[in-house]
Amino acid sequence: MNSMIYLIGAVWGFGMTALLGRWLIPFLHKLHFGQTIREIGPSWHKNKQGTPTMGGLMFILAIVTGMLVCLPVARSMGYFDTTLTQVRVFGGLAMAVGFGAIGFMDDYIGVVKKRNLGLTERQKLVLQFAVAAAYLASLALSGDDTGTVIPFLGKIDLGPGYYILAAVLLVGLVNAVNFTDGIDGLNTTVTFFAFLSLALCAGLLSMTGLSVLGICAAAACIGFLVWNFHPAKVFMGDTGSLFLGGMVGALAFGLDSPILLLPVGLVYWAEILSVVLQVTYFKATHGKRLFKMSPIHHHFEMSGWSEVKICGGFGLVSLLGGAIAFCCVMWGV
């Protein structure tokens, strides 16, 4: 029975995402919802001008409907027997949708104004912290505590400070995943391995509901790659990248072990750290650059790496980080 629900989630996630592309991409073209390419970006990205954005709607719809399809089977098997279990799965999914909604607003404003700007940074941060706070509150009201599982050390109670740290980590992760979205197929490839590793960790801990969610999300990433692989026919936009960040966070927090985000998110953290270092170095040296361009995937691109090579290399790093997380769960519980 376990294999049946995994198969349903995987087939639905992949199939629905891939099929939606046949309808959504022409629809986005018709609405002229094309990406505006930044002037400061690599010059060869100019030929991507007008490529439809907001394609993240494809995998958002696939994952949400996929979990609704799996719900009756999961309930009959007793996987959602407590309120906390339901919140960890569906509350986490709702949080990801909330982040995706913020991204949709950002994309829509950018498309309407025909420039690569949407919501202000302050507006996005306020909304993101509000979504993270709502999710954490739902966990607390469902009986979750302020402890977190650290492999090899067990569960450690962080007290009230847990909620502040958790909110900062969630918002930081979501924005780090957003920075990873910059070339064809990169964010989708990296996040596929993140989802897969977290799904395997959940399966190892007999958290089948979370595992199914992770498998469905990983399969949806592959379905999106059908349309997003170089040369991309559609971009996920902030709609998709913020949703993916929320989903990765939901899985790690659902496992009660957000520390797993450190190895699982190796690429994400490298991306956002490269931006912070670039800005800091630029200001400190009055105009000098540490990298040819940030986020760091653009540094490799400016160094002559093809987009496919960057996706492959960063994907392997994500796979390695996921393997480390899985080993920590397997040997450290």
pLDDT tens digits along 49-62 = 668 889 999 999 99
As a whole number of angstroms, the distance between CA 310 and CA 319 comes to 14
**Mean pLDDT, residues 27-37:** 74
Mean pLDDT (whole number) for 294-306: 92
Is the pLDDT at 41 greater than 80? The verdict is no
User: CA 132 to CA 163: how far, in whole Å?
Assistant: 10
Note the pLDDT of residue 332. Answer: 72
Q: What is the pLDDT of residue 76?
A: 74
| pLDDT of residue 113 exceeding 80 | no
**How much is the mean pLDDT over the chain?**
90
pLDDT band at 158 (very low <50, low <70, confident <90, very high): very high
Q: What is the pLDDT of residue 114?
A: 61
Binned at pLDDT 50, 70 and 90, residue 201 comes out as very high
Would you state the structure tokens that stand for residue 300, as one six-digit string?
């490799």
Measure the CA–CA gap between 44 and 317, rounded to whole angstroms: 26
Distance set, CA 223 to CA 89, 219, 226 (Å): 22, 6, 5
Task: Spell out the domain ranges in the chain.
Answer: 2-332
* Cβ 58 vs Cβ 224: under 8 Å: yes
